């Protein structure tokens, strides 16, 4: 049976429900399955089910201490009546390639898939471990996690949530989705800093004030929580199932997945899918101009000491990709992972060994694209294929084009370019409407609301229901604080909900 260990220390070992409850290991590491052999299975036994059925098999594999009946119930609760497409994550052919659409949830980004699940997993974990404290979820967001988490945890008993987002670092639509969040247990707060400041601030709070008030304990909804990562594995299987059903591939053929990457959670789920036995060829890690991962997969040198770029794909504006630590654990072992993470914290960089780099390259390819290239991709794919993409998906699409043009430059294996390609579409184009309109050659209007209406008129793609009403909802959260005040903010909030 799977247990979870810290990426930095194999001696720290807990059950799956405990790992979900704690969010992060006490030594600052992330929880990972102690043995990848225990997650291996025959993928046919997964893809014979519908989305919920696949989720049940996968959750059962990763979260054995919940028990099958409980998992069945939690999956049903997580995915019934929340998604506007009955396949939940449908796949669409665009030219000779495929796009896996992950944005039919309540907040129109792929994070809904995991954040519909996590609150259910977490409240059950609380019960299973006889935990009586109120759980205060702290989340740093580059835009999309915030609204998805506020939505997922809204009025879930036994939990409260604070979301920290970079002031001025999210789109108007993303901001409105957060500041109008209506749950009585939910709050959004802007910090004066960028996403990395928000994320490192939150990480520090977990170490400094794990119990910010009597009867209150902290936990995380960021992708450092394994309960957030595992539900994302499901759509890789769903993609494969749909490719088979449409006879786009032969059973057993391998597939390349191109993943627009920020915190490395989404693509890490793809790595787990591969380890489980899904026929995956390469995982292509697509970055915007914050191309720290592109350099890393090329050279094995991780260097966060570079200029932070604000781009039109803000959810990928990240210099420290937390979940990479999980991959490091499996490639380099706990001891090296601990060393590298220490070096990253102290010097802002680390270098893995040649052998480790070779292992990484056997699965991963890092490619980056600029805002201009993404914008061109949106324009040309819309014009030539009548398909509308958001800015994040467009980064991945541009990276795929580069890869198809010059696979030899990115990979030592010539055959990589011959496999079927699936681009993960992580957000609805309506979340980043202004950039999308400009890219398809339209003049943006004066507000996000007007832009959405205009985009719908022009393209005929309907505005997602969850985005249509944010402009008329009451603004409930107006706080803006310096990062240095985050601890005090959390303590004050915790006191208000504690015993």
Indicate whether 427 belongs to the interface with ligand PLP (CB under 6 A).
Answer: yes
How many other CB atoms sit within 10 Å of the CB of residue 48? 11
* The two three-digit tokens of residue 315, written as one number: 């959810």
Q: Are 2 and 16 in contact (CB under 8 A)?
A: yes
How many other CB atoms sit within 10 Å of the CB of residue 498? 16
What are the residues whose beta carbons fall under 8 Å from the beta carbon of 466, sequence distance 6 or more?
105, 106, 107, 108, 177
CB of 464 to ligand PLP, least distance (A): 13
Indicate whether 90 belongs to the interface with ligand PLP (CB under 6 A).
Answer: no
Question: Which is closer to ligand PLP, CB of 216 or CB of 268?
Answer: 268
How many other CB atoms sit within 10 Å of the CB of residue 68? 11
CB of 324 to ligand PLP, least distance (A): 10
DSSP symbol at 457: H
Question: Which is closer to ligand PLP, CB of 109 or CB of 463?
Answer: 109
Task: In whole angstroms, give the CA distance from residue 145 to residue 407.
Answer: 33
Residues 107-146 that bind ligand PLP (CB under 6 A): 109, 111, 144
Interacting stretch for ligand PLP, rule CB under 6 A, among 92-100, 193-201, 250-258, 260-268? 260-268
Binding mask 296-335 for ligand PLP (x = CB under 6 A): -------------------xx-------------------
Residues 463-492 that bind ligand PLP (CB under 6 A): none
Question: Which is closer to ligand PLP, CB of 105 or CB of 265?
Answer: 265
Interacting stretch for ligand PLP, rule CB under 6 A, among 18-26, 68-76, 152-160, 261-269? 261-269
Interacting stretch for ligand PLP, rule CB under 6 A, among 175-183, 256-264, 409-417, 436-444? 256-264
- Residue carrying structure tokens 């979870």: 4
Binding mask 165-204 for ligand PLP (x = CB under 6 A): ----------------------------------------
Which own/partner pairs from 338-344 qualify as long-range (CB within 8 Å, at least 24 positions apart)? 338/8, 338/9, 338/29, 340/302, 341/7, 341/8, 341/28, 341/29, 344/302, 344/304, 344/320
CB of 157 to ligand PLP, least distance (A): 27
Query: 420 forms bridges with which residues in the sheet?
Result: 255
Among 24, 261, 287, 289, binds ligand PLP (CB under 6 A): 261
Interacting stretch for ligand PLP, rule CB under 6 A, among 91-99, 181-189, 258-266, 270-278? 258-266
Applying CB under 6 A, the site for ligand PLP has a residue count of 16
Among 201, 260, 366, 466, binds ligand PLP (CB under 6 A): 260
Q: Are 337 and 379 in contact (CB under 8 A)?
A: no
Taking the CA atoms of residue 452, residue 315, residue 23 and residue 206 in that order, the dihedral angle to the nearest 10 degrees is: -110
Question: Which is closer to ligand PLP, CB of 263 or CB of 289?
Answer: 263
Phi, psi of 351 (to 5 degrees): -130, 125
* The two three-digit tokens of residue 169, written as one number: 């670092």
Residue ranges of the alpha helices (H) in 191-315?
Answer: 195-208, 226-229, 234-245, 265-276, 292-299
Question: Which is closer to ligand PLP, CB of 10 or CB of 84?
Answer: 84
DSSP symbol at 389: -
DSSP symbol at 272: H
Among 199, 426, 449, 483, binds ligand PLP (CB under 6 A): 426
Binding mask 375-394 for ligand PLP (x = CB under 6 A): -----------------x--
DSSP codes, 458-493: HH-PPPPHHHHTTTTSPP----EEEGGGHHHHHHHH
How many other CB atoms sit within 10 Å of the CB of residue 200? 16
> Cα separations (Å) of 340 from 48, 143, 344, 354?
41, 28, 6, 14
CB of 415 to ligand PLP, least distance (A): 26
CB of 237 to ligand PLP, least distance (A): 17
Among 223, 294, 368, 435, binds ligand PLP (CB under 6 A): 223
Question: Which is closer to ligand PLP, CB of 123 or CB of 145?
Answer: 145
Among 43, 164, 257, 264, binds ligand PLP (CB under 6 A): 264
Interacting stretch for ligand PLP, rule CB under 6 A, among 168-176, 264-272, 348-356, 376-384? 264-272
CB of 114 to ligand PLP, least distance (A): 9
Percentages (nearest 5) of helix, strand, coil residues in the chain: 50, 15, 35
| Interacting residue ranges for ligand PLP, rule: CB under 6 A | 109, 111, 144, 223, 260-266, 315-316, 392, 426-427
């Amino acid at each position: 049976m799977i247990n979870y260990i810290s990426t930095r220390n194999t001696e720290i070992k807990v059950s799956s429900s405990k790992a979900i409850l704690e969010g992060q290991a006490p030594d600052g590491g992330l929880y990972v399955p102690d043995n990848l052999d225990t997650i291996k299975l025959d993928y046919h036994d997964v893809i014979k089910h519908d989305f919920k059925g696949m989720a049940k098999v996968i959750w059962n594999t990763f979260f054995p201490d919940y028990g099958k009946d409980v998992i069945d119930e939690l999956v049903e609760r997580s995915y019934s009546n929340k998604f506007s497409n009955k396949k939940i994550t449908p796949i669409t052919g665009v030219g000779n390639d495929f796009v896996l659409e992950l944005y039919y949830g309540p907040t129109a980004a792929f994070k809904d898939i995991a954040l519909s699940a996590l609150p259910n997993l977490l409240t059950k974990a609380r019960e299973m471990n006889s935990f009586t404290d109120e759980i205060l979820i702290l989340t740093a967001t580059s835009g999309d996690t915030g609204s998805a988490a506020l939505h997922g945890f809204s009025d879930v008993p036994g939990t409260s949530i604070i979301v920290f987002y970079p002031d001025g670092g999210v789109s108007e639509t993303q901001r409105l989705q957060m500041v109008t969040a209506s749950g009585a247990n939910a709050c959004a707060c802007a910090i004066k800093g960028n996403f990395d400041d928000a994320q490192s601030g939150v990480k520090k709070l977990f170490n400094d004030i794990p119990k910010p008030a009597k009867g209150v304990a902290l936990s995380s909804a960021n992708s450092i929580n394994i309960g957030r990562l595992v539900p994302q594995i499901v759509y890789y299987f769903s993609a494969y199932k749909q490719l088979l059903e449409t006879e786009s591939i032969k059973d057993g053929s391998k597939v390349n997945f191109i993943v627009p990457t920020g915190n490395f959670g989404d693509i890490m789920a793809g790595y787990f899918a591969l380890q489980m036995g899904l026929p995956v060829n390469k995982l292509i890690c697509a970055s915007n101009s914050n191309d720290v991962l592109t350099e890393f997969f090329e050279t094995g040198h991780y260097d966060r000491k570079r200029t932070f770029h604000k781009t039109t794909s803000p959810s990928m504006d990240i210099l420290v990709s937390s979940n990479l630590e999980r991959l490091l654990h499996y490639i380099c072992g706990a001891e090296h992972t601990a060393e590298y993470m220490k070096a990253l914290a102290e010097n802002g960089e680390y270098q893995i060994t040649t052998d480790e780099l070779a292992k990484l390259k056997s699965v991963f390819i890092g490619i980056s694209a600029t805002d201009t290239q993404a914008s061109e991709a949106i324009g040309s794919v819309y014009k030539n294929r009548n398909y509308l993409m958001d800015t994040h998906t467009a980064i991945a699409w541009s990276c795929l084009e580069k890869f198809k043009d010059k696979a030899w430059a990115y990979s030592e294996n010539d055959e990589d370019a011959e496999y079927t390609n699936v681009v993960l579409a992580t957000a609805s184009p309506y979340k980043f409407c202004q950039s999308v309109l400009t890219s398809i050659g339209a003049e943006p209007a004066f507000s996000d609301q007007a832009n959405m209406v205009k985009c719908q008129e022009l393209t005929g793609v309907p505005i997602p229901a969850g985005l249509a009403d944010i402009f008329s909802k009451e603004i409930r959260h107006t706080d803006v604080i310096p990062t240095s005040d985050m601890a005090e903010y959390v303590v004050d909030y915790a006191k208000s909900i504690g015993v």
